[in-house]
Chains A and B, each alone.
Chain A
């Protein structure tokens, strides 16, 4: 089937939905389609718990956009582009108010204004929230408003390829998962909003099963570069057994991190901010405690305790109800009675598709949110800035797309491209293939965790790169066992694994290349930040042979010069 739209948005999380909404609000005459591999309300935006940062000044009256910019730049370990950060933070109050105006529920202060809580790595309390379900309520609000505006949804379509003619966007090819049919979406503008790729760490990740970087991988294969891929954020507080997330809001509300001696050990690592240091610092401190033998031992590995008991039953029930539920479901403990067992878990990909204010190097192809790298998060993202990122750049992409689409011609998608996509899918079912999906995916997760984790060395990274190359070779023999066309999840798993393998290679290769420690990227063999050589973005492109080629780009500085980073 062939579809034609002015704007096609791939991904229906908060970023994709806001882009769709904004495009229609900007110009009701443009035709917009949202193509998503899951129903919109399933998107991973729903899992964002803690909140969204905006210098509204409802709590700290003296908070300003400049302070928000400073916190973000410092949090990024000075790798973020400061013009982009300035835009992000200056738009924050407006997008949060707009969302509120559109019906998003927020927790409130007694005066009726949006409540704000402290969050990691910030000098002011500016994280706006709705209990611990902020992402969920934002996602549902945007979905409701898209229904209201009659946005056209193509749910449960899997992105197969991104098409352009070398300089201009043509559209996408996707598979209708319900029928197995390959369908083309011809469009002047494609906005990629496919979310992150931290699921490559598999069960050492807080991410949804589908956070496999489909848009990033499609862009990479279409010759678009990826930026800063070595930077993967480990969230300090994943549940011990499952890696599921316990929001930073739990520490924002006053939770303690304790080692097995009952010590609030963060006093030794970030004496001022304590538990509310930035995520890279807190995660590394926890990992150090565990390595030094100060963690608690269990069958499911060593862990640290997150103690909320002193907050009291009422505060826990009111402000952290979901955390309590998760702890009970997945660890069998009630945080009102017992501390929560936690350990760092792969959580967020700062790197992604190289964009300048939402636009890629190919005219008409945009990327926003976690799949993109503007870069506003640099080497470490602050909690509460990811929801902000999708809102600000989702909105901007929608506006720009609506203005740009009518000025450009629809180029259409070539039959050769469609044949290539179909041939690839057919090839997986060949009986000469023998590798199993589960085994390769398991080994990928293990090698990422062991060799490309929180603490990195040249030797381990080299092992990681070799292992991933080996897995990519084995992938060529992967066997599709389900040959049906109706909702073939076996095929989807294989396509997702291919994406993760390509992106994992980018992460490992760039991590090996960067011989310094900055933000989430910590090299034991190069423990210091080295601004003279490494104060720059890394770039990856895919060569004809499928291997990764490296490049780099200067960082845009602004108000805040390089400084040592301590908390």
Chain B
């Protein structure tokens, strides 16, 4: 069995003692095939009983043990030490708590904000069958209808996407990927009756339209769920349901129209079309700064040469 000494650099923080977080180093002999969670358990039992982290099922299904390993959010229980070795195996493996959530102690974070956002956005099915008639009859759901939401129901709420989301870092009030995924899962469940209300909530400020398409949630989902597909579908649904009044929706509409009309974005009028006249006042300082740096977008936009081909694409899509 392959075996080697590995260093682990673990973030520590006990609010009762420490002013700020610090790092502890542990060097231990590890066999190939050992997971990060087994290392954490070993350290806790043999070296440092105060080390604090969560773990429960140890099989990748409960979602308790998500931490950042070498900067990336992962489940400790399904992450192999061997896969995390860098620098020829000599660099320490860095283990830190998830980002974008308050640290309670060491590697343990408060996930209440995620649950609270789920609650606010009604992440549950509102059944079509009245209470008193429940239990008598199944809904007929085709396999194809189930397949639409199948992957989304894999979510274990581990918080990895919440931690990796680039929007969460700049706006803690942002709705977050797992909540959007849950919204998608509910709104595409043929048994649900509350899609309108749910979508109304998620299209409010700090919601659906604030996603920047960075795809970090998809890249780092511990269950390989195509979260972004769900977010795209919700945006389409917002238009289908006529929820086009929000800044985000108007912004998307402007991109859509410009591309069809000229094949180019008319950036000059984009703020007006997105934020309206009064909303655009706030953008003036930025516009002046851009002008001073010579970064003003062109006033007039010329049609691109292949515009007919683009319009053909639009026509096909609309069919």
Residues of chain A having any CB pair with chain B under 8 Å: 25, 38-39, 41-44, 46-47, 56, 94-95, 97-98, 100-103, 105-108, 110-114, 130-131, 133, 136-137, 140-141, 144-145, 147-148, 178, 208-210, 241-242, 244-245, 299, 322, 325-326, 329-330, 332, 437-438, 481-482, 484-490
Contact = CB atoms under 8 A, between A and B. Distances in A.
Given A97-B137, A133-B153, 11 more contacts: A38-B62, A38-B64, A41-B156, A47-B61, A95-B135, A101-B191, A113-B140, A208-B58, A209-B55, A209-B58, A299-B1
B25 interface: no
Contact of B17 (A38, A44, A437, A484): A484
Contact of B59 (A38, A107, A244, A488): A244
B130 to A, nearest CB: 10
A411 to B, nearest CB: 32
A84 B94 CA distance: 53
8 contacts: A38-B54, A94-B135, A101-B127, A209-B57, A329-B60, A481-B49, A482-B49, A486-B104
A100 B140 CA distance: 10
A108 B143 contact: yes
A43 B186 CA distance: 22
8 closest A-B pairs by CB:
A103-B125, A112-B140, A144-B124, A438-B45, A98-B135, A481-B49, A94-B135, A148-B124
A102 B125 contact: yes
A183 to B, nearest CB: 17
A247 B124 CA distance: 28
A42 to B, nearest CB: 4
A414 to B, nearest CB: 30
Contacts of B127: 101-103
B62 A485 contact: no
A39 B57 CA distance: 13
> Taking chain B's interface residues, is the majority helix, strand, or loop, or is none over half, making it mixed?
loop
A486 B14 contact: yes
A219 to B, nearest CB: 22
Nearest to A241: B33
B108 interface: yes
Given A46-B62, A97-B135, A487-B104, A38 B191 contact: no
Nearest to B191: A103
A145 B119 CA distance: 10
Contacts of A102: 125, 127, 134
B308 interface: no
Interface in B194-235: none
Contacts of B134: 97-98, 101-102
B146 interface: yes
B59 A47 contact: yes
A438 B156 contact: no
Contact of A97 (B56, B136, B143): B136
B163 interface: no
B154 interface: yes
A242 B137 CA distance: 41
Contacts of A485: 16
Contacts of B278: none
B135 A46 contact: no
A78 to B, nearest CB: 30
B262 interface: no
A41 B154 CA distance: 12
B214 to A, nearest CB: 25
A108 B191 CA distance: 14
Contacts of B191: 101, 103
B50 A484 contact: yes
Contacts of B143: 107-108, 110
Nearest to A114: B138
Contacts, number: 167
Contacts of A147: 115, 118-119, 123-124
A133 B154 contact: yes
B57 A101 contact: no
A101 B154 CA distance: 19
B61 A136 contact: yes
Interface in B106-157: 108, 111, 115, 118-119, 122-127, 129, 131, 134-143, 146, 149-150, 153-157
A100 B192 CA distance: 11
B61 A46 contact: yes
B89 interface: no
B46 interface: yes
B172 interface: no
A144 B125 contact: yes
A38 B44 CA distance: 19
A234 to B, nearest CB: 17
Nearest to B224: A325
B189 interface: yes
A485 B16 CA distance: 8
Interface string B56-77: 1111111110000000000000
A42 B64 contact: yes
Contacts of B104: 178, 486-487
Contacts of B154: 133, 136
Contacts of A482: 49-50
B105 interface: yes
B135 A42 contact: no
Contact of B146 (A46, A108, A136): A108
B52 interface: yes
A95 B134 CA distance: 9
Contact of A111 (B14, B33, B140, B156): B140
Contacts of A113: 138, 140
Contacts of B141: 106, 108, 112
Interface in B4-45: 14-17, 33, 44-45
**Most interface-central of A97, A332, A437, A488 (chain B CB within 10 A):** A97
A481 B157 CA distance: 32
Contacts of B155: 140
Nearest to A39: B111
A136 B127 CA distance: 20
A487 B13 CA distance: 12
B59 A487 contact: no
Contacts of B80: 329
Given A107-B146, A245-B59, A484-B16, A490 B49 contact: yes
B135 A101 contact: yes
A500 B110 CA distance: 28
Contact of B46 (A100, A245, A438): A438
Given A108-B146, A486-B104, A322 B64 contact: no
Contact of B189 (A103, A111, A148, A210): A103
A44 B44 CA distance: 23
Contacts of B54: 38, 42
A144 B186 CA distance: 11
A229 B251 CA distance: 64
B253 interface: no
Contact of A329 (B78, B118, B136, B146): B78
Nearest to A91: B135
A326 B17 contact: no
Interface in B135-188: 135-143, 146, 149-150, 153-157, 186
B118 A208 contact: no
A359 B275 CA distance: 61
